[in-house]
Amino acid sequence: MPVYKSPILILRCQDWSETSQIVHVLAREIGRLRCLAKGSKRGQNPFSGPLDRWTLGDAVFSQADPNRLATLMELYETERFDGIRRRLPAFYGASCITEIILTIVPDLEAQPAVFDLVVDGLRLLAAVEVEACRAVTLTLVWRLLALLGYVPRLDQCAECGAAISLESPLNFSSGLGGPVCGNCHPPGRIHHLTAKAAQAIAFLLSAGWDEVRRVRLTEATADLIRGLLSARIEELAGRKLSALRYV
């Protein structure tokens, strides 16, 4: 039976029995998977107590069949992101990114860049001022989609490749996941972004985290960005997700 060692981030926990849990994890070396943590709710166990979401640690797990639950054998906890649990905007942000990962990140595909991005983002959400949580969360969602290949360049039409200026209002196709020029009319919903919203998206995708944490989006700009992200993720997932509306 193959045994793996990898840093993992726990995304969700479910009770499986009186003493055990099923945990949904993002493993840096393996990708997204579900594990059975036998005895995790017992007083004596190899997991430092009952497992909880948004816990980072070094894990040992085995998986005999990719179509069945893996078995979590050991977990050495390294970080719990406690600031996320203490402040509602940070909690909403972490819930949003967790829901997206569980929905659109493929099973059992190593995603080290995705893992590192999400860990950095959660660490920042746990530490920043409440007013910064919205910008940090929206940045994290955009960058996650970009890493997965779902966000094309913002300065050219996603349909024909023509150059597009971010100095003017922008038409954005949720089906293509990018802007479209006036000559293209792809099927699906078209979102009309102000130049300010388009420039904000470009900034969030490229700026350093120290710059992102200083961003304070207006309600109008945040609504446009949130609506666009919601439609894009719905296109990818085939259903509406709930947590993004609270960001």
Confidence category of residue 218, pLDDT binned at 50, 70, 90 = very high
The CATH H-level (homologous superfamily) assignment of domain 3-80 is: Nucleic acid-binding proteins (2.40.50.140)
CA angle, corner 240, sides to 113 and 161, nearest 5? 60
Residue 83, pLDDT above cutoff 80: yes
Q: Are the beta carbons of 179 and 170 closer than 8 angstroms?
A: yes
0.95 surpassed by pTM = no
pLDDT in tens, 156-187: 999 999 999 999 999 999 889 899 998 998 88
Q: How far apart are CA 167 and CA 54, in angstroms?
A: 39
Delimit the domains of the chain by residue range.
Answer: 3-80, 86-246
pLDDT in tens, 44-82: 777 766 789 999 999 999 988 888 899 999 999 999 999
Which CATH class name applies to 86-246? mainly alpha
Give phi and psi for 149, each to the nearest 5.
85, 20
| Long-range contact set of residues 153-162: C-beta below 8 Å, sequence gap at least 24 | 153/178, 154/178, 154/179, 154/198, 154/201, 154/202, 154/205, 155/202, 157/181, 157/184, 158/186, 159/184, 159/186, 160/184
pLDDT in tens, 85-133: 999 999 999 999 999 999 999 999 999 999 999 999 999 999 999 999 9
3-80 and 86-246, same CATH topology: no
Q: What is the pLDDT of residue 32?
A: 95
User: If you search the block for the tokens 């699906």, which residue do you land on?
Assistant: 188
